[in-house]
Amino acid sequence: MARRSGRRRCPGRLRRNPCHPGRNAGGPVRGLGCPGSGGEGFEHPRVLTLLADSPLATALYVAVRAGQSPGFAGALPPLLDWLPSTLSNDVPGEGESAFCGAAAFASVLRIAATNAPHLAKEYRQRLDAADARVDTIVQARLKTARDRLQTGTRPARAEFSLRQGLTGLGMCLLQRPDPGPQLRDLLDYLVELVSGFGGTGRPGWWVDDSPLPDLSDRQEWPHGHADLTLPDGSAGILALLSLAWCDGVRVPGMDVAIKSLAEWYRRHLRTDERGDPWWPEVVTDPEPVTRPELHLREASQLVPGWCGGLGIARSVQLAGIALGDRDLRDAAVAAARAALLWEFPEFFRPGLCHGPQGAEFIALRMAADESDDDACRLLGAAAAMRAITHDVKSLTVRGGLLDGSLGVLVSQASNEARTVLPPTDSAQWDCLLGITTIRASSRAVPARPSPGKSPQDQRSRTSASARAAPSMQPSSP
């Protein structure tokens, strides 16, 4: 496939992004909320973190490899035994998230127990303790969030985001064989957050601040913003609601919330000068832009990987699967393909968050849920991107899941530097990223074939489509 040209920027000149005031268009291409290498914008426990080199990160790597090659299972007990046997008791778990602390520990134990079933009983007590700790944190944070909702004030991004907040903890709850009432309570909160438009026209997740982690340019965002990305914005909420719906975990109003979020993305979908669709990372006006020049994009406006265009596209695709909305899925696939074919002259750092491995991995995950034609288009675009960015794979990388070597390694086959999905009979480790569930077929609700279509025509090749509900009627709590 021919390489597509893009408008290159002068590397020695800093340019303002016309859609994102205050953003430095020079330097590595990464999402507005990305803190860059070496940190995630907040302190994290030294041992129980997946965001840096740590014993827990090493345990995750071996647990993932055990799902690819049983020989790795023997190395798990020493790694898991080295981890703390007791967890912090502070509430609401300041600094803890889906990637740090008890929730991250529980996720690694659950992936290990799935890929090495003979270890499940041995580590059951420690997993139960981690789950109990997560429940305590979720309950405390839900109370704080609901108290805020009662006051009518705007949330901080860390309240609800996948990276730092309740959406990420909800993804961890969804990993459990029986999520219990904690997940339903959390979904109730997200439904209320989505429906909390009030009289301002701004959605409930609108943040009255800057999208940058250090808030250094907050004066340039006088009316705040809505973040559309997967790790920090509404795409994370949409992904959790859609995955939970497809997994049969539903609460009243959840169908309306998914439709409302899907409509938000439908309205804010832009078309560039080539006719390619794309979503902005953030918007400062709840109404879609109409000025043609704001539909144009540069490389800095479409971040590759999990934190940008591919993460948004996957979330919208999941909503289309949950809603049975073919047009929504088509828009997501088209936007993902366009993002993969965009030329990234600064796409030089490996990683899942904003590196080529993350972009390719999400493309594989999306392709697995689509028909052969759409899958081929996505895989072809991913191959073209890989050909352009192959040099980054030879660089030395270090660090954690999102921005370092751990993410690169777990996304690859065990015996070669090739991006692959986990085997379908093993733990789907990318449940940590909010793009799938831990099991390829857990609590499945088979899709109902559309009139005139055979079951073979409707069959998806992975879990999300297979678990999509035949209707959008919420189950009782």
pLDDT of the residue at 176: 97
Per-residue pLDDT, 6: 35
Q: pLDDT value at position 350?
A: 79
Dihedral pair phi/psi, residue 222, rounded to 5°:
-65, -25
pLDDT band at 9 (very low <50, low <70, confident <90, very high): very low
User: Mean of the per-residue pLDDT values for the chain?
Assistant: 80
Tokens 């004030």 locate to 153
H helix or E strand, kind and range, residue 359: helix 356-367
Count how many residues are written for the chain: 477
Q: Which residues contact 476 (CB under 8 A, 6 or more apart)?
A: 252
Closest CA to 355 of 380, 390, 384, 379: 390
Structure-model confidence comparison of residues 286 and 241, the more confident one: 241
* The pairing of beta strand 270-271 with beta strand 226-227: unpaired
Distances (CA, A) of 413 to 64, 194, 361, 441: 10, 39, 12, 22
- In terms of C-beta density within 10 A (0-12 exposed, 13-18 middle, 19 or more buried), how is residue 273 classed? exposed
pLDDT tens digits, 346-358? 555 778 998 888 9
The model's confidence at residue 93, banded by pLDDT at 50, 70 and 90, is: confident
Contact assessment for residue 149 and residue 132, using Cβ atoms and an 8 Å cutoff: no
> How confident is the model over 19-30, as a mean pLDDT?
38
- pLDDT in the model for residue 460: 39
What are the tens digits of pLDDT across the range 262-284? 999 999 999 888 888 999 888 88
Most confident by average pLDDT, 4-13, 272-281, 443-452? 272-281
55-197+223-287+295-442 has which CATH code?
A: 1.50.10.20
**Per-domain residue ranges for the chain?**
55-197+223-287+295-442
* pTM given for the model: 0.85
Query: What separation, in Å, do the N-terminal and C-terminal C-alpha atoms of the chain show?
Result: 50
- For residues 219 and 191, the model is more confident at 191
Query: Could you give the 3-state DSSP secondary structure of residue 297?
Result: coil
CB 141 within 8 A of CB 185: no
Q: Which amino acid is at 202?
A: R
- Name the 3-class secondary structure at 389: coil
Mean pLDDT to the nearest integer, 406-433: 93
Q: How confident is the model at residue 459 (pLDDT cuts 50, 70, 90)?
A: very low
Q: What amino acid is encoded at 462 in this protein?
A: T
Structure-token pair, residue 138:
């979720």
- Residue 236 confidence (pLDDT): 98
pLDDT in tens, 94-148: 889 999 999 999 999 999 999 999 999 999 999 999 999 999 999 999 999 999 9
Residue 296 has pLDDT above 70, yes or no: no
Cβ–Cβ under 8 Å, residues 79 and 127: no
Least confident range from 183-192, 293-302, 375-384, 434-443: namely 293-302
**410 — pLDDT class (breaks 50, 70, 90):** very high
Least confident residue range of 249-258, 385-394, 402-411, 447-456: 447-456
Among 116-120, 172-176, 216-220, 373-377, which is the least confidently predicted range? 216-220
Q: Is a pLDDT exceeding 60 seen at residue 449? A: no
Q: Quick check: 172 pLDDT over 70?
A: yes
Cβ atoms of 179 and 173 closer than 8 Å: yes
156 vs 397 pLDDT, higher one: 156
Position with higher pLDDT, 415 vs 451 = 415
The predicted pLDDT at position 344 comes to 60
* Amino acid identity at 289: V
DSSP annotation string for 417-472: S-B-PPPTTS--GGGGGTSS-SSTTSS--PPPPPTT--HHHH--SSHHHHT--SS-
Least confident of 70-74, 217-221, 331-335: 217-221
pLDDT confidence tier of residue 292, bands split at 50, 70 and 90: low
Lowest mean pLDDT, pick from 11-25, 162-176, 184-198, 267-281: 11-25
